[in-house]
Structure 1
């Protein structure tokens, strides 16, 4: 999961560079097409296709629509209609949504160390992102609501994985949810893809596109699903709070965006929360 945190954190900078030369919806569509093919190939090579009970397949298909189709649409359109700082700050709600939903549905038991660690890490995440200067207003309201919708979609997806237990492997969960969610994502961005001139996108952008499809998406989703199965949705969601820290460090190294003292303090809170959550 630490590797996933690094991949997702650096992904913000990579995506920012790619969408600078490619429309966001076209990026989303091509990225998911690449990821879906790669995920299917990985499943067939590693495990082969194993038949699923109809009820399990329908549940996975529903999770695919929520955790891939709706999530990607809300996230991409949300970022396009609000500031980067706002979107980062609002995603701090994700671990809380995951923990609360898991507890309400009875698939997660919240221990005191986990709740304390989660609270500390969320405060740290807010400090990291708030240092960039969020500004809520009428001109960002639509984007802000869409980002919160994306957070809710990710919470439902995560808790849904947990509710399946170990009946289905993490790889098959990731593959089926991605394949069932991909058509909606691809079709939503298809008009932008058809208008795209491949010659207008330089080679570095295409490399970045392939990277974001294979590492943060295919590998990241697979490890995420496996972690949720092994340690629970609430504890897995706690790792999400480390993503802004990596994103800030990456932006510093690549784009020269120097971290602030508040971001350093927030990083310390996040690390403390992760350590605290591991207590019995």
Structure 2
């Protein structure tokens, strides 16, 4: 009883560097939806997935080599890293890119809106995190907010999008498992090393899945904007944002980190409005307010 009273009466925490870093990640990933949509309109999604991830993994390997060098890891740690690489990169990238290609943007947002809840539930079930009251209240506000944002676009779960919808659901599960699994590696590995090693171990699968489409590309038929999209989506959302995400999970826990990802559809909707003239509706504004409220509530002690 006394602990509950303390939780409810404590003032909000001051904004930390971790909070600001998570907000930056939300901005990066939210705008990336538009970047990816524009790129896959001129390039097969499998080829786009393969090229951008090969570039991202190479860049992360180079950064790791320059900053920390290559150090041996215990066998048990390597097994965890490989597992996270396969789930959080190989499977996730395939499900995400192919899912978006086979369903609507609205469906993608709706089906991934439950990822924070899934992450929190998995974290609690596996004993990695605790479902504290502020986080639960934040999730109660944020998840319906995301649903309002995407449902205002009129999503439909019909037969024509069923394959893509299932892939997006798989994408959400992969991301939840990856986020929770990062805590199993412990504090002895830096965020940079975790991000780089999981990307390196996940890269072969991603590249091989898209290799046939890469061989069939005709670069002369593609404008420079497509290649700018490949480079940007490789270096910023994958390299920079993944690094921030890994570091934030270590600092504040997977449940609260996952909650911030609820803001990604808000940024995605605003970016689509500005770049693609997809004007948000009234319910989307209400949803955005709920997401922001959820983040603020979750930051209470």
Shift of 1:219: 0.5
For residue 98 of structure 1, give the secondary structure of its aligned residue in structure 2: helix
One of 125, 128, 151 as aligned partner of 1:104:
125
Which has the higher Rg, Structure 1 or Structure 2? 2
In structure 2, distance between residues paired with 1:74 and 1:37: 22
Shift of 1:185: 0.4
In structure 2, distance between residues paired with 1:68 and 1:62: 10
- Which contiguous aligned blocks of 4+ residues in structure 1 show a shift greater than 4 angstroms? none
The equivalent residue for 2:173 is 152
Alignment of 1:200 onto 2:221: yes
The equivalent residue for 1:187 is 208
In structure 2, distance between residues paired with 1:195 and 1:45: 35
**TM-score normalised by structure 1 residue count:** 0.98
Alignment of 1:137 onto 2:158: yes
In structure 2, distance between residues paired with 1:264 and 1:165: 39
Shift of 1:82: 1.6
Equivalent positions of 1:70-149 (< 5 A) are 70-149=91-170
Shift of 1:246: 0.5
Equivalent positions of 1:153-168 (< 5 A) are 153-168=174-189
Alignment of 1:46 onto 2:76: no
For residue 230 of structure 1, give the secondary structure of its aligned residue in structure 2: helix
Alignment of 1:2 onto 2:23: yes
In structure 1, distance between residues paired with 2:222 and 2:52: 14
- Contact 2:80 / 2:185 at 8 angstroms: preserved in 1? no
For residue 102 of structure 1, give the secondary structure of its aligned residue in structure 2: helix
One of 219, 223, 242 as aligned partner of 1:221:
242
Alignment of 1:25 onto 2:46: yes
One of 75, 84, 101 as aligned partner of 1:63:
84
The equivalent residue for 1:247 is 268
Shift of 1:81: 2.0
Shift of 1:96: 0.8
In structure 2, distance between residues paired with 1:19 and 1:266: 28
Runs of 5+ unmatched residues, structure 2: 1-21
The equivalent residue for 1:178 is 199
For residue 136 of structure 1, give the secondary structure of its aligned residue in structure 2: coil
**TM-score normalised by structure 2 residue count:** 0.91
Cα-Cα RMSD: 0.8
Runs of 5+ unmatched residues, structure 1: none
One of 246, 259, 262 as aligned partner of 1:238:
259
Shift of 1:204: 1.4
C-alpha distance after superposition, 1:206-235 (max 9, x if no partner): 111101000000001000000000000000
